[in-house]
Chains A and B, each alone.
Chain A
């Protein structure tokens, strides 16, 4: 365990040092024009925290569902090494089938369409 922690700390410290070097080494001459965010080379018109398409939110929800399914299926190799692999395969198949039905439902409802 300890070598792992040393690895984590080492890479974190290395990156922090690189970041500090990147911030301290160059000479800085900052002015207001340089520091303002831009939009096609001009002053930003409205706030940058703009409302975005709900499609992306839907994708995130779908990802949660399917990644949860993968998390549920992760013990599958250990389950197949059990005394009755056929039973564990059947159970895994039921989970997969339910999720496939969910995918079909989402598809039919149009949740996967991007351009109408």
Chain B
């Protein structure tokens, strides 16, 4: 028994390495910055589309009001066709901007004037 050399187990030279107690979770999915950028991009695209459609709807609504007003004014003129194109063609022509904004229906005209008054 005593011939067996005695050997004490010791820590390795320089001590043990640090214990890996921190959780290492792999990165999954897109990062927060990418999500933020993605949302911002989606909102930009969406707002451009919405701006187009809302302006179009406002314009069409104003033209419908104009047409209703035309029908009301010209109701006692026999043979008047409401909303008839001034051109000798079937093709749809948008009114020019000056024509459109100077010939607004009563309701829209009122709001335009007051908007100007309140803003200036």
- Residues of B near A87 (CB, < 8 A) are 118
* Min CB gap A82→B, angstroms: 9
Q: Does B9 have its Cβ within 8 Å of any Cβ on chain A?
A: no
Q: Does B114 have its Cβ within 8 Å of any Cβ on chain A?
A: yes
* Min CB gap A112→B, angstroms: 23
| Cα(A89)–Cα(B115), bound, Å | 15
* Min CB gap B31→A, angstroms: 27
Q: Which chain A residue lies CB-closest to B115?
A: A83
Q: Does A36 have its Cβ within 8 Å of any Cβ on chain B?
A: no
Chain A contact surface mostly: loop
Q: Which residues A64-115 have CB closer than 8 A to chain B? A: 83-84, 87
* Min CB gap B95→A, angstroms: 23
| Cα(A83)–Cα(B111), bound, Å | 6
C-beta contact mask, B85-120 vs A, less than 8 Å → 1, else 0? 000000000000000000000000001001100110
* Min CB gap A76→B, angstroms: 16
| Cα(A87)–Cα(B118), bound, Å | 10
- Residues of A near B115 (CB, < 8 A) are 83-84
Q: Which chain B residue lies CB-closest to A84?
A: B118
B residues touching A (Cβ–Cβ < 8 Å)?
A: 111, 114-115, 118-119
5 CB contacts below 8 A, A to B, read: A83-B111, A83-B118, A84-B115, A84-B119, A87-B118
